[in-house]
Structure formats: C-alpha cells, structure tokens
C-alpha cells in the first residue's frame, strides 16, 4: 500500500493520469467540525441533511459532503461553495461539465462512520468500502448475487476465512457496479471478480473484462483496517494507487479543514 501523508511538509499533491487517489476517513473523528463544514454545503445538501432521523447520521452526512467539496477544491481549485454536481440517470454524481477543466472523476462510499473518496483523471471510477459485520448467512447472499465462479471461490476458503472472502467479493462487485454507473440494473451475476483475503495494509490488483463492455476494468482491493475492506474499480489496464491520509500529530484533518476554509474566505 503506497501512502502519501498530508502534513506541514507535504501539503501539495498532484493527481496524474496513471494514478488513483484513495482517502479513508473516520467521520466521527471530525464531528466537532460539523458547523464549519455545514457552512460550505449547498441548500440542497442542507435539505438532505435535515431529512435524517438521527443526529449521528446527519452529522456524518454533513461531514462527508463538506470533505467531498474540500477535496475537490484541493485537486481542482474550484471554490468550495461554487462546486456544482450533476447526476446521471441512475443517480451517480459527477462534477458539472462546465466546471471540470481538470477532467477530475470521483466516487464516494460510506460504511457507518467510515468514509472513502476515490479520485482519478480522465478515467471513470467506482469505489466501495464495508465494515466487516459477523454475518452467518453469507452463502445465501452469495448464491443470490455472486456468479457461479465466485461462489466456488468462496467455498474454497476455510471456514475462518470465508467472511473476509465474502467482503472482498462484495466490495469488488459494488465498485464495478458504481464505475458502470447503472445501479443494480446491471446484473451482478454477469461478471466475475477474484476473491482474496488480505492482511491489514495489503492490496491486490487485477483486471477483468465484462461482456458487451469494451473497456478493461482494473480492480484495486484494499484493507486499511482489521475491520474494513474496500475496492476501487477504474477503466484502465494499469494504474498506480496512492492511499492518502492525514498526519494527525502535525497537520491534522482539522487543520486541513480550517486552512481551506480560511483560503475560501480570503
């Protein structure tokens, strides 16, 4: 896992065409920044936030949307309050075409308190993360959504490894579906991914082909924490994945937020 740390020495980062940048952030760690982040949201985002029944879900939504805006500003320099999103017919968001001179593509995923942002240049991208839950009916779920090949792969795992195998498959398939941008209208059983158990900090990269889809899809499977699996899918034959994070002791995510908001106000 190739890492880049945002701190007082390394605060500039360029996204080049043969890279994807993946950020994994614990939203609860910045919940006290909610009021700052709320100020840069659009009216529509505020309306969406107010529809949540529970405060924790509302706070996480506000923090995630604020971080998305700040991150897009970080790469594109579009003022955070001016960033405009558009949706395709299946609800996949992207930057408005008239703003996207940088050809920046992104995708996001949530799992409870964890938030993932993935960025690429001029390449369609999809990402999914899942906190591992101790489910026992994974074979029933697999038989409904996984291909025959994937079910057989899962059966080849030992009993102690099957839960992680299940999540490696699920996140990979979700990332592909999100890349395609067609929602669950695209049948999950129609393509195969590889199932792999990872150690913390380990990644696994491979490519797949999908019937009637004329581009190669590269999948980057990752495990940043013991209880978290993720996968990123991108239209490419070869790519370098960079895992971006904040050095909390020196130049924390909270300083990243406050500095970017200060720049916006100046």
More confident residue, 258 or 234: 234
Name the residue with tokens 């949201």. Answer: 41
Please write the tens of the pLDDT for every residue from 3-55.
877 664 556 788 998 999 999 999 998 888 899 899 999 999 999 999 999 99
- Chain centre to alpha carbon of residue 231: 8
Q: Is the pLDDT of residue 257 over 60?
A: yes
pLDDT at 148 over 60: yes
Show me where the domains of the chain are located: 3-27+104-265
- Report the share of the chain in percent with pLDDT over 90: 65
Contact between 181 and 107 (Cβ < 8 Å): no
* Six token digits for residue 63: 């923090």
As its CATH architecture, domain 3-27+104-265 has Alpha-Beta Complex (3.90)
**Residue 122 backbone zone (phi > 0: left; psi -120 to 50: alpha; other: beta):** left
Q: Which residues are registered as beta bridge partners of 228? A: 131, 225
3-state DSSP helix/strand/coil percent for the chain, to nearest 5? 35, 30, 35
Whole-angstrom distance, CA of residue 36 vs CA of residue 32: 9
Q: What confidence category does residue 263 fall into, taking pLDDT thresholds of 50, 70 and 90?
A: low
Over residues 72-83, mean pLDDT: 90
Tokens of 92: 């996949």
Question: 200-209, pLDDT tens digit by residue?
Answer: 999 999 999 9
- Dihedral pair phi/psi, residue 126, rounded to 5°: -145, 145
Q: Is the pLDDT of residue 242 over 80?
A: yes
Predicted TM-score (pTM) of this structure: 0.92
């Amino acid at each position: 896992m190739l890492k880049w740390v945002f701190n007082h020495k390394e605060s500039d980062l360029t996204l080049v065409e043969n890279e994807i940048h993946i950020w994994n952030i614990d939203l609860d760690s910045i919940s006290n920044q909610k009021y700052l982040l709320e100020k840069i949201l659009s009216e529509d985002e505020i309306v969406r936030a107010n529809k949540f029944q529970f405060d924790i879900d509302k706070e996480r939504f506000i923090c995630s949307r604020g971080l998305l805006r700040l991150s897009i500003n970080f790469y594109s320099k579009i003022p955070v309050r001016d960033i405009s999103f558009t949706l395709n017919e299946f609800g996949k968001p992207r930057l408005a075409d008239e703003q996207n001179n940088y050809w920046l593509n992104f995708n996001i995923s949530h799992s409870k308190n964890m938030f993932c942002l993935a960025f690429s240049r001029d390449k369609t991208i999809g990402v999914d993360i899942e906190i591992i839950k101790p489910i026992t009916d994974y074979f029933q779920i697999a038989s409904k959504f996984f291909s025959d090949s994937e079910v057989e792969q899962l059966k080849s795992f030992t009993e102690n490894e099957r839960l992680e195998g299940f999540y490696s498959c699920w996140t990979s398939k979700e990332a592909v579906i999100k890349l395609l941008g067609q929602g669950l209208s695209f049948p999950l059983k129609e393509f195969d991914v590889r199932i792999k158990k990872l150690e913390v900090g380990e990644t696994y990269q491979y490519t797949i082909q999908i019937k009637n889809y004329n581009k190669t899809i590269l999948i980057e499977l990752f495990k940043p924490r013991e209880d978290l699996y993720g996968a990123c899918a991108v239209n490419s034959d070869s790519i370098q994945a960079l895992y971006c994070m904040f050095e909390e002791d020196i130049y924390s995510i909270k300083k990243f937020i406050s500095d970017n908001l200060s720049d916006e106000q100046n």
